[in-house]
Structure 1
Amino acid sequence: MVKVGVVGYGTIGQRLADGVAFQGDMELVGVADIGPTLPVRALKEKGMPYDFYLAVPENREKLEEAGIPISGTLEELIQKVDIILDATNAGVGAKNKVLYEKYGKKAIFQGGEKTSVADVFFHGYANYEKGIGKQFLKLTSCNTTGLIRSVDCLDRVVGIDSVMIHIVRRVADPGDYHRGLTNALKIDPVPNHQAVDLMLIMPHVKATGVLVHTPVTHGHIITVFAKPKKKITREEVLESFRAHPRIRVVRIADGFLGNASLFKYARDLGNPRGDMYEIAIWEETVTIFEDHIIYALNIPQEAVVIPETIDGIRAAMEMQTDRLEAVGLTNKYLKIGG
């Protein structure tokens, strides 16, 4: 049983803790954070299903005032586990890495950290083998994770030479105020980092793209214009997508009009926090144009990276050396594609 700790109990950290707890071959030892944040207060109100470790000792009094039991310090959590999932704010993980190295522990960092923090820039489906046995892995961002799922899916069927992508990006997570209130769109320079990151994971595919920030909070939408290495029909593309456990093919005709429809559907399914692990591809957007594959997908940014992070544990800890066996177990325990 691999012992896992989660450092940073925020938007991603909460979901990582739940994801690890679902795994039948992993043990969640505890979570760590800096103080009585709203997620930590909610953890207490739920009866402390996970042990809490304090990352900032100066905040002990605040936690005691809030009635939140403390199981130990961050360093004590690190010493108890085999691997840490670092879900702290960008830049904090790189500082925490010093502690992980001090105790000889493995760690997986999220997309906000610089790629240089890790031995391998990792994606469960696209380059699982490169993460096997490595000490430090870094996940791709939420957009890149979902994008690579779809491109890798097609690449393994027909081979992909290049992709052009256009991302309509939510500006903040629900509940975030620090980015401000806005009624404007903002465009990034070409190429966006997701295109660059895709090429780091899949160096045989050429990629470029545009990114537009939008004042919404539930999900990103990406359109993809992919050049296959050989001819493929629309039905074959759809068949490939439908066969992928972490891709959900939906139809506008059925009421899936956009990102909000998918978030509401996840809530109607009873998924905790309205989460959905799968990306969604709209059937009506899938087409073949001038021998190129076109499609649009939705990225549920708060949960999409959880399966690939679990895959990372399997790779780093050498729990499985076969890619499909590893992702299959992650899918099984998270009840994806069942």
Structure 2
Amino acid sequence: MDVFTCAGCGAELTAPLSRVALPVHTHHGGWEELHPPLMEPGTYAVDPQPSGPPWRLWDEIGEAGAAGQGVYAPVYSVSFGARDRIVIAPGDSRGMALVLDKCEGYCRGVDGRAGPNLACVACGRAVATRMDDCGLWQTVWLEPDAVHRLPSGLRAGPPPDWADLEHPEHRVPPVDPDGWWSRRWEAAVGVALAHLVAVSEGCPVRLPAGPVAELLGAAVSRYLPAGPAAKSVGLAGPGVPAPRPRPDVLLVPRHPLTGEPWRPPGDEEAVVVVPLDSGVWAYLVHPGETSPLPATGRLPEGVLRDDYASAPGPWYPLLPHHRAFTDTLVRMPAMRSPWLRAYYEQGPGPH
């Protein structure tokens, strides 16, 4: 396990933490909603892309300047913030205090627009940014040049691996307890759909029957054309062999530690994969029990129920977080291809 310390004075700034993959929904929440912490307690992740202020307009930096920041299609503004910022749950922070004149926000919290707003209590050095405004997952972002990562001296359990996807607690249900679509699912579908659009090369796709078609069908039909000669899509991953005959595209999980997509052993280069949030993928493969009611018949005489009635489901189909879709799309080098650039400029979405 690791602990992060102040680069200025060496004071400890976090609890002992274990590294995991950066969640795909990190930068995509629900507008005008308060969100829970992004990270599980005792974990941290690293964002390799530039994030946060300062921001520069596309018209100011041009296509070449944006490409240097990993953005390959016109957007309103491009982040020139630090790469490799470290995100933790707010409850895992230690020895930091808010810088009150840098706590601007939209309406219900702070959004980090002024840069680092947490300082080391021991020496006063600005070291991190707290974000918890509406529409944002609650986070603390450690600035990579302001902290040092050191071994904590505590033994950690085995690092996250493919076997974790088999655990029931790893699965993320598509509907939250309040009866609305999961914000994590909406973002995950947006990210995966961007990859699916890119590999489809503008062709229709055919989803496999079952949970994939039921949950992702509405999103795919809004962002890709219908018609014959569709490319086939299938689920595959650790413990789930690819269907035969092999589909044109495989939906696979991201590794819970590295974030890299799973690939079938033996033909890694030949297969076309679309990565999914590992918790979303695990639910699609193992949806588990879907109803607290008995499939047939009635409860035995004298048996009392001690569970709660299930919340009603959403009244509209699951649709992707549109900004998660577009943000993923513009960061793909494939955006340089004429057909994908034309798709983006036409306006991603229902055609």
Could you state the TM-score of these two structures normalised by the residue count of structure 2? Answer: 0.25
- Higher normalized contact order (CA 8 Å, seq sep 6+, divided by chain length): 2
Write 1 or 2 for the structure with the bigger share of strand: 1
Write 1 or 2 for the structure with the bigger share of helix: 1
Could you state the TM-score of these two structures normalised by the residue count of structure 1? Answer: 0.25
Tell which structure's C-alpha radius of gyration is larger: 2
